[in-house]
C-alpha cells in the first residue's frame, strides 16, 4: 500500500469513527434544539434546567417522567438518521455507545453538531459529565456552580460511607435479569461493577468481563453478602422474599439474611446524578446490616 492509499485509508477510518471522539466540552455553536441519546444525559439536562432546549430523546431517557412525553429517536445504539433529521436538531448529545456508526457519520455530514460526552463509571466521572454538559449548553456559572457544589457534597458523604465499608468490604453481586432461569450478572468493566466499587464493596463476579449468565454452583461458591437487582428484574418474582427462594440464590448469605436490594435500574446503572444518591443509599444499607 503506497503512502497516498494509506493516507486515504486512514482518513476513511478516522471519519467512520469520528463521532466517538469525545467532546472537548466547549460551548456549542447552537444549542437551541437539542436531541439526546442516553438517559443519563437527559437527567443532567433537566437537573441543569435546560429542558426547554430538548426536541427529542432516546428510549432510555425515562427520568424525569416529563422526558417520556418528548418525541423518541429510538434506542441509543440503534438510531435512525431519518428519525433524527425529521426533528431538525442543532445539537446531538450522546453517550459513548451512541450509534450505529454509519448513522452518526451521516448526521455529522449534514452539519449537525454531535458531542459524545466522556463516560466513566465513578463518582468523579458523573460530576465531570454534569460539568461538561453544562459547559456545552452554556449554563450560567451561578446555576452550574450550585449544582456542582450539591453533587460534590453528596459525593463527599458517599466517600465517607465507602471508606467505612472498605474496612470490611461486603461481597456483592448485581443481577440484571433472571429471564433465562440462570441469573445474568455484571462482571468487571460494567456499570454494575462501577456501582459496586462506588459503595466500597467487592464485586464477587470479577472473573469475567461484561454481562453473563452464571450457574448456581458459581453463585453458591461466590457467597455474595448482598444482591443488587433492578426493580424491572424483580418484577417477574413479585417480591424480594420470592426472589430469595430462587434455587440459584437460596443458599447464598444474601438470601439467607434477606440482604437483597431492589432499586430503579437507571438510577443505579445510568451514571447520571441519581447514581450518586443510589450508591449512598446502598452503602448505608451495608452499614446498617452490621449494626
- pLDDT tens digits, 104-129: 999 999 999 999 999 999 999 999 99
Residues 135 and 172 occupy one common structural domain: no
Over 60: is that where the pLDDT of 26 sits?
yes
pTM for this predicted structure: 0.89
Residues 126 and 248 occupy one common structural domain: no
Residue 146 lies in a domain: no
Residues 191 and 129 occupy one common structural domain: no
Burial bucket for residue 184 (CB in 10 Å: 0-12, 13-18, 19+): middle
SS3 label, residue 31: coil
Over 70: is that where the pLDDT of 13 sits?
no
Residues 131 and 172 occupy one common structural domain: no
Q: Please give the residue range of the domain that contains residue 18.
A: 3-139
Choice among 21-25, 104-108, 251-255 with the minimum mean pLDDT: 21-25
Query: E-strand spans in the chain?
Result: 34-37, 54-57, 91-94, 113-116, 171-177, 184-186, 202-203, 211-213, 226-230, 260-263
Residues 25 and 127 occupy one common structural domain: yes
Residue 244 to residues 67, 179, 231, 258, 259, Cα–Cα distance (Å): 34, 15, 14, 7, 9
How confident is the model over 130-153, as a mean pLDDT? 98
Residue 150 lies in a domain: no
Over 90: is that where the pLDDT of 182 sits?
no
Residue 151 lies in a domain: no
Q: How many CB atoms lie within 10 A of CB 247?
A: 9
Residue 186 lies in a domain: yes
18 — pLDDT class (breaks 50, 70, 90): very low
6 — pLDDT class (breaks 50, 70, 90): very low
Residues 133 and 22 occupy one common structural domain: yes
Residue 91 lies in a domain: yes
Over 90: is that where the pLDDT of 29 sits?
yes
Residue at a domain's end among 88, 120, 139: 139
CATH for 8 = 3.40.50.1980
Bridging pattern class, strands 171-177 and 184-186:
antiparallel
Residue 77 lies in a domain: yes
Model pLDDT for residues 44-89, shown as the tens digit of each residue: 999 999 999 999 999 999 999 999 999 999 999 999 999 999 999 9
CA distance 213 to 178: 9
Residues 10 and 84 occupy one common structural domain: yes
- pLDDT number for residue 20: 52
10 — pLDDT class (breaks 50, 70, 90): very low
The angle, 0 to 180 degrees and rounded to 10, between the axes of the packed helices 101-109 and 3-16 is 100
- pLDDT number for residue 238: 82
CA distance 159 to 156: 5
Question: CA-based angle 174:290:234, to the nearest 5?
Answer: 30
Residues 199 and 284 occupy one common structural domain: yes
The proportion of the chain whose per-residue pLDDT surpasses 70, expressed as a percent, equals 91
Residue 235 lies in a domain: yes
Residues 27 and 126 occupy one common structural domain: yes
Residues 11 and 134 occupy one common structural domain: yes
Structural domains counted in the chain? 2
Residues 7 and 130 occupy one common structural domain: yes
Model pLDDT for residues 144-170, shown as the tens digit of each residue: 999 999 999 999 999 999 999 999 999
Residue 147 lies in a domain: no
Residue at a domain's end among 96, 119, 139: 139
Over 50: is that where the pLDDT of 3 sits?
no
CA distance 8 to 24: 26
Residues 110 and 11 occupy one common structural domain: yes
- pLDDT number for residue 237: 81
Residue at a domain's end among 139, 158, 182: 139
Amino acid at each position: 500500500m503506497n503512502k497516498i492509499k494509506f493516507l486515504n485509508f486512514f482518513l476513511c477510518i478516522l471519519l467512520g469513527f469520528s463521532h466517538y471522539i469525545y467532546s472537548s466540552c466547549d460551548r456549542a455553536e447552537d444549542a437551541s434544539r437539542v436531541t439526546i441519546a442516553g438517559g443519563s444525559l437527559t437527567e443532567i439536562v433537566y437537573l441543569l434546567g435546560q429542558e426547554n432546549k430538548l426536541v427529542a430523546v432516546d428510549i432510555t431517557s425515562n427520568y424525569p417522567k416529563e422526558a417520556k412525553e418528548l418525541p423518541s429517536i429510538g434506542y441509543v445504539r440503534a438510531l435512525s438518521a431519518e428519525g433524527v433529521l425529521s426533528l431538525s436538531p442543532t445539537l446531538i448529545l450522546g453517550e459513548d455507545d451512541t450509534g450505529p456508526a454509519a448513522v452518526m457519520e451521516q448526521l455529522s455530514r449534514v452539519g449537525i453538531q454531535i458531542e459524545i460526552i466522556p463516560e466513566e463509571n465513578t463518582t468523579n466521572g458523573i460530576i465531570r459529565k454534569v460539568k461538561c454538559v453544562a459547559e456545552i449548553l452554556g449554563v450560567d456559572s451561578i446555576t452550574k456552580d450550585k449544582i456542582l457544589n450539591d453533587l460534590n457534597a453528596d459525593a463527599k458523604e458517599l466517600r465517607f460511607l465507602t471508606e467505612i465499608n472498605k474496612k470490611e468490604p461486603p461481597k456483592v453481586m448485581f443481577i440484571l435479569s433472571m429471564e433465562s432461569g440462570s441469573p445474568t450478572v455484571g462482571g468487571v468493566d460494567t456499570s454494575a461493577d462501577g456501582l459496586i466499587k462506588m459503595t466500597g464493596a467487592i464485586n464477587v463476579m470479577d472473573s469475567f468481563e461484561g454481562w453473563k449468565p452464571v450457574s448456581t454452583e458459581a453463585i453458591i461458591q461466590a457467597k455474595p453478602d448482598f444482591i443488587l437487582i433492578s426493580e424491572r428484574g424483580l418484577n417477574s418474582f413479585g417480591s424480594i422474599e420470592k426472589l430469595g427462594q430462587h434455587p440459584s440464590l437460596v443458599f447464598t448469605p444474601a438470601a439467607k439474611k434477606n440482604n437483597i436490594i431492589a432499586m430503579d435500574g437507571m438510577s443505579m446503572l445510568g451514571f447520571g446524578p441519581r447514581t450518586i444518591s443510589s450508591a449512598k443509599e446502598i452503602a448505608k444499607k451495608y452499614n446498617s446490616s452490621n449494626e
